[in-house]
Amino acid sequence: MLGGDYGDFLFLIINECKGEIFTSVTSGFSRAISEVGTVMMVGGNIKGYTRVMTTFIALETSKGNFKDALIIGFILLAISFLINIILHSLKGRESNEYIN
> What's the DSSP call for residue 97?
G
pLDDT tens sequence across 32-61 = 777 777 777 777 777 777 778 888 888 889
pTM here? 0.62
pLDDT tens sequence across 74-100 = 998 898 889 888 887 877 665 555 554
d(Cα 51, Cα 54) in Å, to the nearest integer? 8
pLDDT tens sequence across 1-37 = 567 788 888 888 888 888 888 888 888 888 877 777 7
User: What's the confidence (pLDDT) of residue 2?
Assistant: 66
d(Cα 38, Cα 55) in Å, to the nearest integer? 10
